[in-house]
Structure 1
Amino acid sequence: MYSSVESPATSTDKPGPSSVSEVSQLIQGLLKSDPQLANVSIIGEVSGHSQPASGHSYFSLRDREASLRCVMFRYGRGHQYLEDGALVVCEGSAGIYAPRGDLQIIVTSAEPAGVGDQQAQLEELKRKLRAEGLFDPSRKRTLPQFPQRIAVITSEQGAVWHDIANVVRRRYPLMELMLVPSAVQGELAPVSIIEAFADLHAYAETETVDAVVVARGGGSAEDLMPYNDEMVARTIFASRIPVISAVGHETDFTIADDVADLRAPTPSAAAELVSPDIAGLTFETADFAQRLMRGLSGRVTLARQRLELTHDRLAENAPDTQLFRDRVDELKARAQDSWARYITIKREGMKRVEAELRALAPHNILERGYAMVRGTDGRVISSATNIEPKENLELTFADGTVEAEAKVVSTNN
């Protein structure tokens, strides 16, 4: 603890500086000495409520213009009325939490007073969006069984991105994971989330994106308010890519959860929902292969037994067919004999026809001393009546041609 130190030169002029603890104690004393602050009654909307294992309740009371930190120790009355969005009347006293220097109200009791303004506005927005069909289960799309690429809209600074990446690497390393950074809390977060969706859809014009996870870690009700924003809800509804909402803890619910195609209780759970378990798939495939082999082996064994049984029955009841076999062999031999003789006769006939055709061939006729007469126009002249006196002729012999002129034309007639 820092203590005040007086300077010899100035000790008679003014007191030395006070320590932080001394100033904190002074403020605490002033708060306790004020009768209005020592016993105060406040009406406000509960926000950011949490109740750890100690049993104490930590929350804020807020209205449209201000917010006060509050604590109700486990012995206080009315813990059951403290939930986000509830309008309550709290009795207690104002004080300072010295380690942080925070002004807080130490609440001794709480009574319900209705629904707070923020919660009422949230419920009204839910009714509006539900009436427009944004929560309709029939429009929700299923996720692909084996996705190639998953986008994650979240902060690049927080642990959420790393948690999702670790789960995906462990379960299904074949899938590509891409980060689309955005703010996850504060007044500018809704605009940042909407812009992240716009960037993602521009990328998806040329590349495959199977689904998008909208994620952030746990926090107070105020921290999660960007995911209750109307324009964020409409952006999720209009997304061409299936959306998984993974906002906060399992007990946190936002409008984004209602609009999305699928709600995951935590970001890590979302990573498990979008990534098949490759170890489980390997086991299932091996098990299926074993069952298939056992099934096929059983069917083959049964078929073999039936075939052997049928063979045995046929062998017992089949007549003696040897006589018929011998007769078939004899007929076959005779048919082959007849066919061979037929082929020989036909071949000899073809040889005679070939010799006759060869004898009648024009070249062979010319070799016997004949000649072929053609006119100058190339026509074959077979009669003297077709020749004019003085007409030029072409005589074709077996060994060449001769050009001649018809001097005199005489016919047998």
Structure 2
Amino acid sequence: MKPDPTLFVPPAETVGQLTQRIKECLETGFSEVNVIGEISGLTLAASGHCYFTLKDETAALRCVLWRRQATMFARLLAEGHSVEAAGELSVYAPRGEYQLVVRGLKPAGAGLLWQRFLAVRAKLEAEGLFAAERKRPLPRRPRRIALITSPAGDAIHDVLRTLRQRAPLVEIVLLPTLVQGAEAPAQMVAALALLGEAAARLGIEAALLVRGGGSPEDLMAYNDEALARAIAASPVPIVSGVGHEADVSIADLVADVRAPTPTGAAMLLSQGWTELPLELDLLARRLQRALRERLLTENQRLDRLQLRLTHPAARLSEARRRLEGLHARLTAAQRRTLAESRLRLDALHRRLAAARPTLAGHRARLDAFAQRLPRAAAQAIEAQHRRIERLADRLEALDPKAVLERGYVLVSDTAGQVLTSTGQLAERQDIRLEFHDGRAMAEVVGVEKSD
């Protein structure tokens, strides 16, 4: 197909020449204009010049305020302010854009966006949606959370990086949505509705509603009344992190917790996980201190019990001392009996001599007595020795240490009470086993009673 030759009538112009003609037309035809709009995208350059956009509901106009005028009207320059600007239209040739070179500014009342924000805020505040008492605390250490944001924005990367570094065990359920534009509020409301349906089933404990910074117009979606009511109706706590710290939206006011940035929101929700090592260390120190105190208490209790406990060897030693005392008393009694017998014999000799009996008969009887007495005394002493030996054998047989050396064990409870019957035992009871060469601690795992 050949081009229509009537469309290309010479001479042709360069882009610069055409732009210059447009510039001349604009600057001539619109040398003095007054325009009312809302300031947006305010930027103060290092040179001192000021750049911003005047907007209304249907259009936007780029504006420049040179350094001198920017200094004069600094108090009027603020995002969302509605102003009346006087100046002239011009063309910025390098980009082919037209702009208003502002010569003067004066206030024109609050901006439309700002007025809408104030109206919604007043309505919801009157209903109590911003009240502190309805805000819910965040879970200490959530295991699964929802993330409501754009999958293509910077905020999702900041949040995922922060959670990966601070709380890698947290599972994230992404609910993708637009974060600006006319359709963004409806999509976020739909995401919150889906969260309400799935939170209990999926075990979601909290949600992050985040997006990166932008102009007030970019953040207008978060001032939507329907979105605010959906946040308030959420079954789990909502943490908002919209824009930068200076940006405050309706969503921030109604959310359970407001963070200055998306990264700040992720940090708030992961705070409990980052504090876990410190808490575990504190608990470990408290446990060690409690164990030391318990060991000290038990050692002191054991010392007191040992002072009250008489060792079987000490009992045996005491029995031996008593046996030796009895033996000494028996020997003394025998000697005393023999001495008394000799005295009685002497008395009889004297009585015999005094009575002057028949000498031969009495002497024979005396000789018989003399022969029988030592033998009877020896027999008595021998009998007492045998009795003492029998007692010693019985005492040695009763010696607990001797019994222990034959493989028997002395069983007692932790209080030192000797246990002699299975009826004194219970499962999982701590008992002490006394061997002939030491002791051991044990636990009863079962009790069997004989028929």
**Which of 254, 258, 261 is equivalent to 1:259?**
254
Identity, % of aligned pairs? 41
**Which of 206, 225, 232 is equivalent to 1:230?**
225
Once the two structures are superposed, the pairs formed by residues 281-292 of structure 1 within 5 Å of their partners are 281-286=276-281, 288-290=283-285, 292=287
CA distance in 1, matches of 2:152, 2:120: 31
CA distance in 1, matches of 2:301, 2:46: 73
Give the corresponding residue for 1:62. Answer: 55
* Cα 1:262–1:323 shift into 2, 3 Å: same
CA distance in 2, matches of 1:64, 1:162: 33
Q: What is the deviation of 1:110?
A: 2.6
Once the two structures are superposed, the pairs formed by residues 337-352 of structure 1 within 5 Å of their partners are none
Amino acid at match of 1:40: V
**Which of 7, 11, 15 is equivalent to 1:15?**
11
Amino acid at match of 2:10: K
**Which of 16, 39, 57 is equivalent to 2:32?**
39
Given that 1:79 and 1:110 are in contact with CA atoms closer than 8 Å, whether structure 2 keeps it comes out as no
* Cα 1:154–1:99 shift into 2, 3 Å: farther
Q: What is the deviation of 1:85?
A: 2.4
Task: Determine if the alignment matches structure 1 residue 180 to structure 2 residue 175.
Answer: yes
Counterpart of 1:251 in 2: which secondary structure? coil
Q: What is the deviation of 1:292?
A: 4.7
CA distance in 2, matches of 1:137, 1:174: 30
Amino acid at match of 2:241: A
CA distance in 1, matches of 2:92, 2:100: 10
* Cα 1:109–1:291 shift into 2, 3 Å: farther
CA distance in 1, matches of 2:80, 2:262: 24
Given that 1:171 and 1:277 are in contact with CA atoms closer than 8 Å, whether structure 2 keeps it comes out as no
Given that 1:57 and 1:79 are in contact with CA atoms closer than 8 Å, whether structure 2 keeps it comes out as no
Given that 1:87 and 1:113 are in contact with CA atoms closer than 8 Å, whether structure 2 keeps it comes out as yes
Matched residues, number: 314
Once the two structures are superposed, the pairs formed by residues 1-400 of structure 1 within 5 Å of their partners are 14-16=10-12, 18-34=13-29, 37-51=30-44, 55-75=48-68, 76=70, 77-276=72-271, 278=273, 280-286=275-281, 288-290=283-285, 292-293=287-288, 295-296=289-290, 299=293, 303=297
Counterpart of 1:187 in 2: which secondary structure? coil
* Cα 1:23–1:326 shift into 2, 3 Å: farther
Structure 1 stretches lacking a partner, 5+ long: 1-8, 316-320, 338-413
Which structure has more helix as a fraction of its residues? Answer: 2
CA distance in 2, matches of 1:210, 1:166: 20
* Cα 1:169–1:55 shift into 2, 3 Å: farther
With 41-50 and 185-194 compared, the bigger mean Cα shift is at: 41-50
Instruction: Provide Cα deviations, 1:50-76, integer angstroms capped at 9, x if missing partner.
Output: 446554433222234432222324432
With 265-274 and 90-99 compared, the bigger mean Cα shift is at: 90-99
Q: What is the deviation of 1:309?
A: 9.7
* Cα 1:305–1:196 shift into 2, 3 Å: closer
C-alpha RMSD of matched pairs (Å): 3.5
Counterpart of 1:114 in 2: which secondary structure? strand
* Cα 1:201–1:173 shift into 2, 3 Å: same
CA distance in 2, matches of 1:137, 1:194: 22
Counterpart of 1:103 in 2: which secondary structure? strand
Q: What is the deviation of 1:306?
A: 6.6
Counterpart of 1:135 in 2: which secondary structure? coil
* Cα 1:219–1:55 shift into 2, 3 Å: farther
Q: Name the TM-score, length of structure 2 as normaliser.
A: 0.61
* Cα 1:206–1:301 shift into 2, 3 Å: closer
Amino acid at match of 2:157: H
Counterpart of 1:206 in 2: which secondary structure? helix
Structure 2 stretches lacking a partner, 5+ long: 309-313, 324-393, 399-451
